[in-house]
Structure 1
Amino acid sequence: MNYSIGFDVYGTLVDPVDMGQHLETLIGNHATEFGQLWHEKKVEYAFRRALMRQYADFTVCTQQALQYCLNVYQITLSSTEQQALMAKFSQLSAFEDVIPGLNELAKQGHFLAAFSNGPELSVRKLLTNSQIMPHLQSVISVDDLHTYKPNPDVYHYLMKRVQTDNNTCMMVSSNAWDVIGAKAAGLQAVWVKRGANKLFDPWDIQPDLIVSDLIELADVLKQKS
């Protein structure tokens, strides 16, 4: 069976905490913790905006999360330094398994799309810089709907865009909340467990597959075909 596969971007295709070298220059010893908090807060802010129906694109969530982290760590950066740091999000690196995994999935005949909370132009720039874009057939953004995952409307929009149903539309994400959202909306869903200590949320909703990376996903789907 061939699937239309929507891949989460931040945390699944590229590492959102891959800001270490940039953060160390400006933040110093707290760079790792700062980067993790920044990622968590921008996701939280997206969730809040979706629930409040007060949409602003993910760039705004990221900027406001940055300001929160600067306040927490009592760090002052100029507007120029903040803008330079924000720009680095278009230069995040792909996980090592991503390009070979996508290549193998494409050979199997699956339709491959990035499916992100980020604005399409920003996501395309990021995926181009990380050399992932040539291995995908589409970029689909929640910005079209002015809300965020895990709103079920967003996953239904994915199915509409790839012109398939819930039996052959698959969401692939390293974020448990994203997998749960896709399953709740009726899609097939795969959790990419990027880290031995990662835990899946105990919501009595389980992914259809759990894999360590995209190469393993390609191997599993090949065996199932």
Structure 2
Amino acid sequence: MPHTKFPQIIVFDVNETLLDITTLEPLFDRVFSDRRILREWFAQLILYSQTMTLSGIYIPFGDLGVGTLRMVADIHQVTIEESDIAELKERMSTMPAHPDVIPALTRLRDAGLRLVTLTNSASGASPTPMDKAGLSHFFERTFSVETTSKFKPSPETYHLVARELSVETSDLCLVACHLWDTIGAQAAGCHGAFLTRYGNAMLPAPGVPVPDLVASELTVLADQIIGRQ
């Protein structure tokens, strides 16, 4: 879909895009003796969140995360204790921002762009993970998919943001380090900006929407967005 001008409303994914999930690695290192199981757990969490949406079922992301941890433990024949679940919840609520996040958000804000977030995570009590990471003040609104009872990349999640801001989806640019998220956003009529953080890459297959912008650092992506204004 051709757009005449680049959006001034930038919609950020939160988990892994802004907040560093590698701070969960010590838990997986201790429980599974392999910190790489974090990636398996997260991939399964995304798979089953999307399965729930396709099946017409909604379970809060945090509950699904706990269930997925138990499932992965069963697969690897490892015992999960209640203390491990408590540690997962604590670590997920205190993930720090990646080093490039505050500089990038500062540039975008100073350039006059409007910044909001859209996350699979349910909205929680204050202080939120974004509050604890020192990021909340950059954003005029925070959106959770719980409002739609569907997970990204369901079109309804992106339409929610457009509707709440009284704009078209073509007025939005989604920034995410997951290609499945930018694919969903672009299919819903948004622009897509893909951040290739570790463990994430392009999907070179015919018909897969190519992001409007791609960079490996959020500061570089921010400069690309500003340059398109």
Q: Quick check: TM above 0.5?
A: yes
Aligned match of 2:22: 17
- In 1, the alpha carbon distance for the partners of 2:221 and 2:126 equals 23
Q: Does 1:175 align with 2:170?
A: no
In the alignment, residue 222 of structure 1 is paired with which amino acid?
I
- In 2, the alpha carbon distance for the partners of 1:209 and 1:37 equals 27
Distance of aligned partners of 1:97 and 1:122 in 2 relative to their CA distance in 1, 3 Å threshold = farther
Q: 1:207 aligns with which of 187, 206, 211?
A: 211
Distance of aligned partners of 1:125 and 1:65 in 2 relative to their CA distance in 1, 3 Å threshold = same
Q: 1:148 aligns with which of 151, 166, 190?
A: 151
| Identity within the alignment, % | 24
What's the CA shift string for 1:54-109, capped at 9, x where partnerless? 11110121011100111122221322332222221011121111111001100111
Deviates more, 1:188-197 or 1:142-151: 188-197
Secondary structure of 1:19's counterpart equals helix
In the alignment, residue 209 of structure 2 is paired with which amino acid?
I
In the alignment, residue 21 of structure 1 is paired with which amino acid?
P
What's the CA shift string for 1:13-63, capped at 9, x where partnerless? 112233122333x32521x22211111111111011101111111012101
Aligned match of 1:119: 122
Deviates more, 1:124-133 or 1:102-111: 124-133
Distance of aligned partners of 1:105 and 1:125 in 2 relative to their CA distance in 1, 3 Å threshold = same
Deviates more, 1:67-76 or 1:1-10: 1-10
- If the length of structure 2 is used for normalisation, what is the TM-score? 0.89
- If the length of structure 1 is used for normalisation, what is the TM-score? 0.91
Residue 124 of structure 1 deviates from its aligned partner by: 6.3
Aligned match of 1:166: 169
- In 2, the alpha carbon distance for the partners of 1:120 and 1:190 equals 24
Question: Unaligned 5+ residue runs, structure 2?
Answer: 1-5
The 8 Å contact of residues 100 and 219 in structure 2, kept in 1 or not, is answered as: yes
- In 2, the alpha carbon distance for the partners of 1:2 and 1:205 equals 18
Counterparts of residues 125-140 of structure 1 (less than 5 Å): 125-140=128-143
The 8 Å contact of residues 124 and 133 in structure 1, kept in 2 or not, is answered as: no
Residue correspondences, number: 223
